[in-house]
Amino acid sequence: MYIVEINGLRGQIERDLMMSHWATCHSFFSLSVSNLCGRRGCLFFLCLVLPIFFFFFFPFDHGRFIFCFSFFFLIMIAFVGSFCVRGSFPCGEGLCQMNGEDVRNYPARVLLAHDDRLVQFLDASICQDWNAAVEEWQMKKQEEIAFQKQARIPTCVEVPSTSKTGLFSDEEFFLLTKQLENITAALSAHSATKAGVHYGENEFVYLPNEVPDLFLLDPAMHLLPLDEKKRRKCQEASEAYQRGSYGKAAEIFSSVIDSCLPNMLNAALISNRAACYLRVENYKLSLRDAIRSYEMDNEYILGVCRALRSLICCGRVAEARQTIEKFRRNKYGYNFEREITDISLYEKYGAFLEGNEHSTALMHLNELLERVPCATFEVLKVQLLAIEEGNEVALTHVNNTLRIYTDFPELLYWRAQLCFVESASMAELEAVIPFCGVTGSTDSTGRLRQVLQRVQYCVDLCREMESLVSKSEWMCLIELCSKSVKILFIGDRLRAGILAKRARGFYEIKHYYECMDDIDAAIRNITSGNVRAELLLLKALSEEKLLRWSDAIRSAELAMREHRTIETVEAWKRLCDRKREYEWRKQQKQRFHLGYQDGEEGEEGNDSKDGSAPERNGFPRTHVSGSGENERRKRHTRGPDHHVVTQLYAQLSLPTGASAERVKKSYRALAMRWHPDKWCSASDQQRKEAEEKFKILKAAYEELMCIVGG
């Protein structure tokens, strides 16, 4: 608005600045001195008088004269420069007086003539005053302009009725009128239309022994003053509910409820959605809607019963009892006898479960399931069956229950968990993975993801063990299996498989006792006949290495009973043959030692009778007769004692308890010494003595090898 005037003022200011160019050379010095002169005249007076005082009252000196004259000359230049600067601007006189009160008297031409370069020539206090004056003038000018604009607005006059047709069309007007009528009818009829109280024209009253049907939709929802579209949706929801599409019915009811104002709803519509959630086993949402329904109408017993059913199914029996006490006195006379019985059964189940009486708790739970069939109680039954009758029975019950409650998260979790626990091989573990693919945000889905992680870990573990077995890295296999059996989440059947692989590793490194211990621990949790037969055969081989022939044959027979194969039959035959051979060697050993002792006794008897020498070439007899047979039988039944074993070691020149390797070395050394071929050039008596000595060494060696070397 004032752009032309401001541009003219800017041009005038630039011309004035060109005329006062000589003063700009001393701008900062002159401005500071002029400020001191304008505000502090006394200081300027002292600066002017002091040179004169020094000049006239002190003795004359050329240096002092030059100093005083120079100081006076500089002061005068600064004073004249400040005067010229203050008087050269068009608004200079006004600026000198801006510290006063009369700022409003300055014209717009002065206040708008503001240039950014003024800051370079003016003091900070003067610039602040200048800016304040400009801002005050601009504020007043804006107020004046706003007042003028407001004054130009025409006064309100009545618009003719013909102009109203431009605001609303006929359809919009009638639609608005209909909506207002619906709101008025809802507000006026809300207190009179209580859901659950009326069904059609008759009043709805519960008898003391009458039980309301929790899964029957309340037709009182049709009493709401809804438009045609919403009524149609309610009818669609009812039809979907009758078809068994409970989830779809709940969605349709939700769309109707969300599109209505709170005061346009009644308890029946809310409670019907609770019935849909109750059907799909979503007890949390069912409880929410049921509570909301009886809060809208304190006498709505159907909503109270649905809330009690949801509380019982959630196990919140204490809250259910409190709700019953709250609504026990109602004008319909309903006494909640059914709900009280259900609560008592659940409390009995919990008490027996707390006391570890699982069979009695299962009995009460079955009775409760007959009265209140729901998925949560089925989950509790699955857990009790796993404790009482085993995981296989519990898994069978889960699979049967999932035919009814197809998408209940807890049942899906227990199916995956029981399948994982019952898995014994990598193939069975991989079959569990599809059961863990449920998405969602509930606690059960989180546990399903945990089961999936454990299954994948066990699958990788089985692959690693198979790789070590194929590479015959038995020590690494034993170490891996020893770590794996300590993992808590691994099931008994999979742990048995791990123990079986570790037993194989112990057998390969000749740790037979550890091998048999692992087989005994693993076979208790293995049900497959083939696997049991393999483990029993491995145990028989370990017992064979330890010369436990009877145990080995018995294990082989058990393996044939589990799974009869050519391998097990051949192993059993071989064990029987080796047992007979061992017993024969044992008899030979006993005969040898008994004959040796009986021969000495017989020689002593012959000496006492006829005095003849019984010895032949200095060796005792090896045959006995008569009473020595009973002694041999006794020794055979007892087996080799410590004294006999000591004699066998002494015959081979070994200390008692020497290893089989030392027995072999000692026998080879003594055999080379007493072999008959080495005594061919000797006399007949020496050859006979060497022959008898060699026989004794050979018999002792065979008996010791049967005892210590197998």
105 and 15 in a common domain: yes
Distance separating alpha carbons of residues 25 and 113, to the nearest angstrom: 24
516 in any annotated domain: yes
pLDDT for the residue 551: 85
324 in any annotated domain: yes
Domain stops at, among 579, 606, 622: 579
**Amino acid, res. 5:** E
Q: What does 573-642 look like in DSSP terms, one character per residue?
A: HHHHHHHHHHHHHHHHHHHHHHHHHHHHHHHHHHHHHT-----BTTB------TTHHHHHHHHHHH---H
548 and 517 in a common domain: yes
Burial of 510 per CB tally in 10 Å (0-12, 13-18, 19+): exposed
What domain range includes position 430? 418-579
543 in any annotated domain: yes
428 and 370 in a common domain: no
pLDDT for the residue 644: 77
**What are residue 202's DSSP bridge partners?**
199
CB atoms within 10 A of CB 175: 12
**What are residue 619's DSSP bridge partners?**
616
445 and 336 in a common domain: no
Q: What's the CATH code of the domain at 652?
A: 1.10.287.110
622 in any annotated domain: no
Measuring CA to CA, which residue among 85, 288, 305 is closest to residue 212?
Answer: 305
Quote the longest CA-to-CA distance of the chain: 181
Distance separating alpha carbons of residues 117 and 279, to the nearest angstrom: 84
500 and 430 in a common domain: yes
CB atoms within 10 A of CB 350: 16
Distance separating alpha carbons of residues 68 and 55, to the nearest angstrom: 7
558 and 429 in a common domain: yes
Distance separating alpha carbons of residues 495 and 500, to the nearest angstrom: 9
Distance separating alpha carbons of residues 169 and 686, to the nearest angstrom: 146
> Do 516 and 497 contact (CB within 8 A), yes or no?
no
632 in any annotated domain: no
> In which residue ranges of the chain is pLDDT below 50?
1-7, 9-10, 13, 17-40, 83-104, 108, 111, 153-165, 188-209, 600, 602-638, 710
**What are residue 536's DSSP bridge partners?**
none
Domain stops at, among 141, 164, 191: 141
Structure tokens at 548: 């436990």
Q: What's the CATH code of the domain at 472?
A: 1.25.40.10
439 and 383 in a common domain: no
End-to-end CA distance of the chain: 124
pLDDT for the residue 524: 83
Distance separating alpha carbons of residues 198 and 204, to the nearest angstrom: 5
The total number of structural domains in the chain stands at 4
168 in any annotated domain: no
108 and 244 in a common domain: no
147 in any annotated domain: no
Distance separating alpha carbons of residues 687 and 680, to the nearest angstrom: 7
Domain stops at, among 352, 369, 404: 404
Positive or negative CA dihedral for 95, 100, 106, 108?
positive
394 and 445 in a common domain: no
242 and 110 in a common domain: no
Separate counts of helices (H) and strands (E) for the chain = 32, 2
674 and 554 in a common domain: no
**Angle 529-545/549-562 helices, nearest 10 degrees?**
170
Q: Which residues contact 651 (CB under 8 A, 6 or more apart)?
A: 696, 697, 700
255 and 123 in a common domain: no
625 in any annotated domain: no
